Amino acid sequence: MKKSVLVIFAFSLLGFTNAKAQAGDLFITPARVIFDNSSRSEELTLANIGKDTATYSISFLQYNMTEAGGFVLASKSDTGTMYADPFLRVFPRKVTIPPNESQVVRLEFHKKSGIKDGEYRSHLYFRSEHNYDPRGEEKLADTTKMAVKLIPIYGVSIPIIVRSGKLSSTASINDAKIETPVNDSIPVLKMVINRTGNSSVYGNLLVKFEPVGEKPFEIGVMNGVGVYCNINKRNISMKLQKAKGLKMQKGKITVTYTNKEGEKGNVLAEQKIDL
């Protein structure tokens, strides 16, 4: 009897930063697109940094953000999110990129009459079209047994946001606290970012420590932190950079949430912790 091969495709949906997205050997820039009343098109650059020619199919998926910051596929019964894909066109829908080369994908927003005010979001998904060839598999000593092979299928998604009409949002930080380090391990800052309004908030977190009588200095950064419209709060846990021998006592910690990179960005929210 010939052996049977059960092929299980292991999908890997990787996250993104505020600058670029990566899955396997694929880099995508930008990693986040926003269309509003003044923008109608965007070009995405896909770069293959691998050693082999790669093919990727492009489609739209719907995700909801969790309060932990992850993403889960939206179900048909979900009503809390308005999806952007009915207003979007992307071409081409499949690309083949030689190694160390790039390809431009064009994304267009077609505003329909009667579109309601609000923020719409879908995720553009780039899926690796890996060609599986079972030839060359190791033979089983017992040909009556079944072989199981895991084939990783890499993919990355980026959020595409459409904003229509008058939108506003505010953010606040509360419940910020430092977890007590054990055996002088790296301290962890936990907090909750709250969102109100009819649009998402997105920005960078900067944490500074100011010892009594000294100048403040940076002890933590987390870029690309969003709270999307399907949730009203997001729980944050970030490791802080602790200098050797530093005792974070008798001082003040300032957590700043800005909507742009760098300290000169507009402040969305801020909270101070007295130690």
Domain boundaries, the chain: 7-164, 169-274
In sequence order, which residues have a C-beta less than 8 Å from that of residue 231 and are 6 or more positions away? 64, 65, 66, 67, 195
Return d(Cα 38, Cα 236) in angstroms, integer. 33
* Superfamily (CATH) of domain 7-164: Immunoglobulins (2.60.40.10)
Q: CA–CA distance from 134 to each of 79, 147, 269 (Å)?
A: 43, 11, 54
CATH node for 169-274: 2.60.40.10
Torsion angles phi and psi, residue 263, rounded to 5:
-75, -15
Q: Do residues 146 and 70 lie in contact, with contact meaning Cβ atoms separated by under 8 Å? A: no
Q: What is the pLDDT of residue 18?
A: 45
Q: What is the pLDDT of residue 134?
A: 46
Q: What is the pLDDT of residue 146?
A: 56
Select from 256, 177, 255, 195 the least CA-distant residue to 65: 195
pTM here is: 0.80
Q: Provide block-wise average pLDDT over 10 residues at a time, the chain (275 residues).
A: 46 47 80 90 94 94 94 80 93 95 96 90 90 48 55 79 93 92 79 96 94 90 94 95 70 91 74 91
Torsion angles phi and psi, residue 186, rounded to 5:
-70, 125
The distance in angstroms from the start CA to the end CA of the chain is: 72
Q: What is the pLDDT of residue 244?
A: 57
Query: Residue 16 carries which DSSP code?
Result: B
Shared fold status for 7-164 and 169-274: yes
Gyration radius of the chain over CA positions: 23
- C-alpha neighbours within 13 Å on the C-beta side of residue 86: 6
Q: C-alpha angle with apex 96: 94 to 101, nearest 5 degrees?
A: 130
